[in-house]
Chains A and B, each alone.
Chain A
Amino acid sequence: MVARIAQLSLFAVATIIGILLVGQLRSQARPIELSSLSARELSTLIETLSARNVELSDGLASLREQIREYERAELQGQSARELTEEDLDRLAAFAGLRGVEGQGLVIEIDGSFDPTAVNDLIYELRNAGAEAIAVDDVRITARSVAVLGTGAIEIDGVPIGSPFTISAIGSPSGLRAAIERPGGILTLLGQSIDAVFTVTERTTLVVAGTQRDLTPQVARSVE
């Protein structure tokens, strides 16, 4: 009986030790993300989240307006063909199938560049809220990435010459502030790449649709 109690006690003690050790080891791993960020990083994050929430809020308002128009058309017994065509334009523009005209930023780049730097610039512009991006005449879709082709950077199989231009539809001042901020992408690229960047805000800018066939070969809709 005494031996049994001893065994059970040792088992319980070992279990408690195990639990505490696991907890301690986990606390040595990557810390909880937010609490590991500095005040400056948190401020940057808050700025990004705030801007994105404004976009989402506007997008939701736009969809609700669309729903109201569909409801009106339905009540009046009218076809909502025009509304649907507008929705098609919206989705096609988002996918990169249609061109987009609006305000934005143009970055001219002259010098040595590598595909990673081009991709990093594209990600930075997207994070700053760019709605449509082109590198020279190549529209950047979800599937577009810069890679090293035979002797030149290529995007969607199209060689990108030097100098080249990145055009982005979005808030001109917002995009500019994001890429030119101290310690931002242009600062980092300037330290590692021998290139000259010329940034221009535009009130009128056209980004053409993609020439690439985005019809998937194997992916099938499940809806």
Chain B
Amino acid sequence: MTRRRPASSRFVRPQWAISIAGALAAIGFVGAAQWNSSLARQEFITSAQRVLITEAEQLTRQQEAFRSEIELAEERVRGFQLRDEGSRSEMEALSAELASARLAAGLGAVRGPGAIIEIADSQRPVPVGESATNYIVLVDDMRDVVTALWASGAEAITIAGGGADGVPAERLVSTTSIYGVGSSILVNTAFLSPPFRFEAIGPDGLHERFLAHPTYLARLQPRIDAYGLQFASEPRDDLMLPAFIGNTALRWGAPISERN
């Protein structure tokens, strides 16, 4: 007697096979698209840009090394200053002036209440015929956030990017540049990529004053509304901002000393 398969099993196995076949086709399609886009990008950068990119990466690594060494050297200088054996009252007065100058210059880590602002590229698809640059955070947007924060009473600001872990936030000081090269943004000549996070310490109401400031209302908010730039902000009771690490020496000028 021939055993017959149950009627149901004749229909289950083909359906299952069709589902797997469809899924494998999808994998193949997406994998091919991924591979093609990788090849296209690879082909794009294996031209004259490759040499320039390598040089830029090398200079960036060199910059990071310099900054680490500067941080250590500044620590050593401070160590000497703290244990100087000069006249106690004179050195105490000098130490107090030094501490004040370091605080004003942004050369020491600080703590206090303030606000956090975050901004990132839009997730909206770019309509046909529109410029894609409208939908990404531009250097003007970064400068507007900083302008509105300082004008609202911020006493210290850092900017961090959403790049690799461990990349320190950039403290804004008197020589800080926020600069755009193409669609890239550099702060203190360090590359930052979105999402961008601004942390600002300042007196009570800093967050509200920022949101009411004309620079934010007239320039940044319309871009957020029109192009869907991602934006979030909130006040904070306690923030800690790192010190600026970089060159503080004058090469083209000299301080006008008050002792002369």
Report A's interface with B, CB cutoff 8 A: 6, 9-10, 13-14, 16-17, 20-21, 23-24, 27, 29-31, 33-39, 41-46, 48-50, 52-53, 55-60, 62-64, 66-67, 70-71, 74, 77, 79-81, 83-85, 87-104, 115-116, 119-120, 123-124, 126-127, 130-132, 140-148, 169-171, 205-207, 209, 214-223
Report the Cα distance A56→B59, complex, angstroms: 12
Q: Which residues of A contact B87 (CB under 8 A)?
A: 79, 81
By a CB distance below 8 angstroms, the chain A residues around B81 are 80, 84, 87
Q: How far is the CA of A64 from the CA of B140 in the complex (A)?
A: 38
Which residues of chain B from 174 to 230 have a CB within 8 Å of any chain A CB? Answer: 174-179, 181-184, 186, 189, 191, 193-194, 201-204, 214-215, 219
A126 contacts B60, CB within 8 Å? no
A101 to B86 Cα, complex, angstroms? 30
A91 contacts across to B, CB distance below 8 A? 98, 101-102, 105, 107, 248
Is the C-beta of B131 less than 8 angstroms from some C-beta in chain A?
no
Q: In the bound complex, how far is the Cα of B121 from the Cα of A33, in angstroms?
A: 14
A-B contact sample (14 more), CB < 8 A, given A34-B184, A37-B182: A17-B23, A24-B34, A33-B183, A34-B56, A42-B53, A53-B63, A56-B66, A60-B70, A90-B250, A123-B178, A142-B106, A143-B150, A215-B104, A217-B203
Q: Are A216 and B84 in contact (CB under 8 A)?
A: no
A60-B60 Cα distance, complex, nearest whole Å: 16
> Judging by beta carbons under 8 Å apart, are B255 and A89 in contact?
yes
A11, chain B: closest CB distance, angstroms: 11
A20 proximity list for chain B (CB < 8 A): 27, 30-31, 34
| Chain B residues within an 8 Å CB radius of A55 | 247, 251
Judging by beta carbons under 8 Å apart, are B253 and A218 in contact?
Answer: no
Q: Hey, which chain B residues are within 8 Å of A71, CB to CB?
A: 80
Within 8 A of A (CB), among B121-148: 121, 136, 140, 143, 146-147
Closest to B251 in A: A58
Residue of B24, B84, B106 near A81 (CB, 8 A) is B84
Q: Are A216 and B110 in contact (CB under 8 A)?
A: yes
B167 contacts across to A, CB distance below 8 A = none
Contact of B174 among A36, A38, A53, A95 (CB under 8 A): A95
**Chain B: minimal CB distance from A105 (Å):** 10
> Can you report 16 residue pairs joining A to B where beta carbons are below 8 Å apart?
A6-B16, A14-B23, A16-B27, A17-B30, A23-B34, A30-B183, A36-B184, A53-B63, A53-B66, A63-B74, A67-B77, A84-B91, A85-B257, A219-B110, A221-B108, A222-B240
Chain B residues whose C-beta falls within 8 Å of the C-beta of A97 in the assembled complex: 101, 104
Query: A101 → chain B, closest Cβ, in Å?
Result: 6
Name the interface size band of chain B.
Answer: 35 or more
Q: Contact flags (1/0) for B54-84 with A, using CB distance below 8 Å?
A: 0111011011001101100110110011001
Q: Answer yes or no: B249 CB below 8 A from chain A CBs.
A: yes
Which residues of chain A have C-beta atoms less than 8 A from B112's C-beta?
216, 218-220
Contact A142 B179, beta carbon cutoff 8 Å: no
Residue of B nearest to A154 (CB): B151
Which residues from A are CB-within-8-Å of B247?
55-56, 58-60
A131 neighbours in B (Cβ, 8 Å): 175, 250-253
Which B residues touch A34, using CB under 8 A? 53, 56-57, 184
Task: Using A60-B70, A143-B155, A222-B110 as known contacts, say yes or no to A48 and B189 having CB atoms under 8 A apart.
Answer: yes
Q: Which residues of B contact A39 (CB under 8 A)?
A: 48-49, 52
Which residues of the other chain, B, contact A130 by a CB distance below 8 angstroms?
175
CB within 8 Å for A81 and B193 given contacts A131-B253, A216-B156: no
